[in-house]
Structure 1
Amino acid sequence: MGIKRAIDKIPGGMMIIPLLIGAIIRTIWPHLADNTVFKSSFTGGLMTSASALLAAFYICLGSTIEFKAAGYILKKGISLWLGKIIVAAVIGVLIKTLAPDQNHMVLGLSALAIIAAFSDTNGGLYMALMGQFGRRAEDVAAYSIMSLESGPFFTMLILGVAGLASFPLMSFIYAILPLVLGMILGNLDKDMRKFLSQGQAVLIPMFALALGFGINLSNVVSAGASGLVLGLAVVVVTGIVLILLDKLTGGSGLAGLAGASTAGNAAAVPVAVAAVYAGYKGIAATATVQVAAAVIVTSILVPILTAWYSRRVEKRRGEVGTSAKTA
């Protein structure tokens, strides 16, 4: 039937489609989660166990992160990673200053949604674009460092530092522990890395379905429009900063633009953060939809802009080469 092929044609489809299916089920049967028989069943476990599925996903993801990195990879990866985190932190401080209300809302977007979308890069998209348009294999490998953004840890850290939320110390440790466990296993044994890394793709639609089941679409009708604004902001703001950082570390700016996106798993962050900080429980569902919309927007715009920028870079190199030959 070509189901997977059809889903893969949609940006972030393996995250977005199950998320939407779960939300539709919850909207049609809003009290299903309260049914005792449902909750005690395997089906209920699948639909309501987003935290457990996310923990398993982060172990698998962590196994792909290597401790060792060559000089260029380390320099490039750290600069782009820090660029994302620092931009998100600066935005967090501005939100705290300009929007002091309880949920820190800006243009219909909560601080939770904004920080989650800004602080996590779509790794698959980045690696695909750099594999196609990049000139060095090390640019692709730089994501091994950038992938440290994954998960709720840095979102929680930025929200805490900016004074937008408060978290006990142990919550940070518990948030990053599955990722660290995966990193340790993957670096100790290459066979474990190969084994665990295969679980990433399978777990994404599973936890997306569970996340979607926590969303009632009737409560988040306006989230889509604000999510589009969020996606555009991620591309423009992080794109400018990361292009500059890429150039400062010896690149053309291409890797920076390729990293100006929001990861599909970032849509899972609002629920993970709300599980620790009760103040965000009321807006977690809306934030999830907004971040999911940002995933789609950045997944469409970033490849188009990267291809355009790559043509400009190649044209400029051609002109420089021609000038050198003439001279």
Structure 2
Amino acid sequence: MQLKRAIEKVPGGMMVIPLLLGASINTFSPHTGEYFGSFTGALFTGSLPILAVFFFCIGTTINFKATPYILKKGGALLLTKIGVAALAGIVATQLIGHDPSTTVLGGLSVLAIVAAMNDTNGGLYMALIGQFGKKEDAGAYSLMSLESGPFLTMVTLGIAGLSSFPWQTMVGAILPLLVGMVIGNLDKELREMFSKAVPAVIPFFAFALGAGLDFKKVAQASFTGLFLGIAVVIVTGAALFFVDKITGGNGIAGLAAATTAGNAAAVPAAVAAANPAYKEVAASATIMVAASVIVTAVLVPFIVAWYAKRIGTITVRSTEPSAVQSNT
């Protein structure tokens, strides 16, 4: 059986399928984890420790060395992504309210909006740049990968005036990533070892996150997540496209970055762990962000392919862009 290939045909499949499996078990047999206990029970409730390992491994893949062009391009796209998410958070706060537990439109929250806009689907970005873009633009993701984790989302929520976090919590959110970066840059062999663990860890924390969801809420939240994903493509895509053009690009890199990373679905739970005020909206935000992962992974490849043909400077290969799933 080729289960891996089948799962990967679904955009963000390695994140989405285990998450839905965990949600299915929790919906129809909510006490399964408690019944078996021990290691099995830990799989149903242990998303945060697994996420700590995941972000450490992600950190080891980030190289300190970067050419001036990569610094300029990656830095511009990174700051734009963060800036747009912060602006969206500020606007949403004015419309939704300053209470972190307030929601509208089927459970839409500021947390969901910011988490969906803050993090780029790295695998999809690299695949699209490799097929349609400039080779040097691929290196920009070495800086953009700093988006991974809940740290920038916490910063953005603080900027939006929706919440504040103790400095210890802020440092704790980014520390595994920073330690991983140091280890990975000190020893190439350790980088290779830990980087291989990144895709293997994803299904486990996704399952644990799903085990905290109920399909009754999923049905309501995922519909809103569809529109959230479209908003991510339109809002962040327009800003990133403009910034890419003014930094010497042709717009491809900007459009390719207008996505939501699979691991962004883990951010609401991490933020709620740091600030219990978000606990009430974390579940619905997780589903909406997961829906945004799928929507952006489906739409962006077609948009990039269309634009590449339109500008006529990129030779489109015979292989159609696939909705490459990634969680980094």
Scaled to the shorter chain, the TM-score interval is: over 0.9
Shift of 1:99: 2.1
* Matching residue of 2:9: 9
Which string of whole-angstrom CA distances, capped at 9 and with x for unpartnered residues, describes residues 124-168 of structure 1? 000010011113x21111100000000000001111121112211
Contact 2:98 2:162 in 1 (8 A): no
The 5-angstrom pairing of residues 45-56 of structure 1 reads 45-56=42-53
The code of the aligned residue for 1:116 comes to A
Cα contact 2:96–2:109 (8 A) shared by 1: no
Report which stretch shifted further, 236-245 or 98-107.
98-107
Asked whether the equivalents of residues 49 and 210 of structure 1 are also in contact (C-alpha less than 8 Å), the reply is yes
TM-score (norm 1): 0.93
| Match 2:295 to one of 297, 304, 318 | 297
1:66 corresponds in structure 2 to: 63
Determine whether 1:30 maps to 2:27. Answer: no
Alpha-carbon distance between aligned partners in 2 of 1:230 and 1:291, rounded to the nearest angstrom: 8
Length-normalised TM-score, structure 2: 0.93
CA RMSD across the alignment: 1.4
Query: Corresponding residue for 2:318?
Result: none
Q: 2:306 aligns with which of 305, 308, 325?
A: 308
Question: What corresponds to 1:81 in structure 2?
Answer: 78
Q: Could you tell me which residue of structure 2 aligns to residue 133 of structure 1?
A: 132
Unaligned runs of 5+ in 1: 318-327
Provide structure 2 residue ranges, at least 5 long, that are not aligned to the other structure: 316-328
Distance 2:307 2:3 in 1: 33
Q: For the residues of structure 1 that align with 2:260 and 2:159, how far apart are their CA atoms?
A: 21
Residue 97 (structure 1) aligned with residue 94 (structure 2): yes
Q: Greater CA radius of gyration, 1 or 2?
A: 1
- The count of aligned residue pairs is 313
Alpha carbons of structure 1 residues 316 and 46: separation in structure 2 relative to 1, 3 Å: closer
1:122–1:264 CA contact under 8 A, matched in 2? yes
Q: How does 1:162-177 map to 2 (within 5 A)?
A: 162-177=160-175
Query: Displacement, 1:32?
Result: 3.1
Q: Tell me if structure 1 keeps the 8 A contact 2:84–2:236.
A: yes
**Paired letter, 2:121:** N
The amino acid that maps onto 2:5 is R
Matching residue within 176, 195, 198 for 1:197: 195
> Is the 8 Å Cα contact of residues 96 and 104 (structure 1) preserved in structure 2?
no
Aligned to 2:262: 264
Rate the CA distance shift 1:131–1:316 in 2: closer, same or farther, 3 A.
closer
Give the alignment of 1:226-241 within 5 angstroms: 226-241=224-239
The amino acid across from 2:97 in the alignment is P
- The alpha-carbon distance between structure 1 residues 268 and 316, as it changes in their structure 2 partners (threshold 3 A), is closer
Match of 1:119 in 2: 118
* Partner Cα separation in structure 1 for residue 238 and residue 159 of structure 2: 24
> What is the identity percentage for the equivalent residue pairs of Structure 1 and Structure 2?
57
- Is the contact between residue 66 and residue 183 of structure 1 (CA under 8 Å) also seen in structure 2? yes
Contact 1:8 1:14 in 2 (8 A): yes
2: distance between equivalents of 1:139 and 1:101? Answer: 38
- Listed one character per residue, the Cα deviations across residues 219-275 of structure 1 (whole Å, up to 9, x for unaligned) are 332111100000000000000000000001100000000000000000000001001
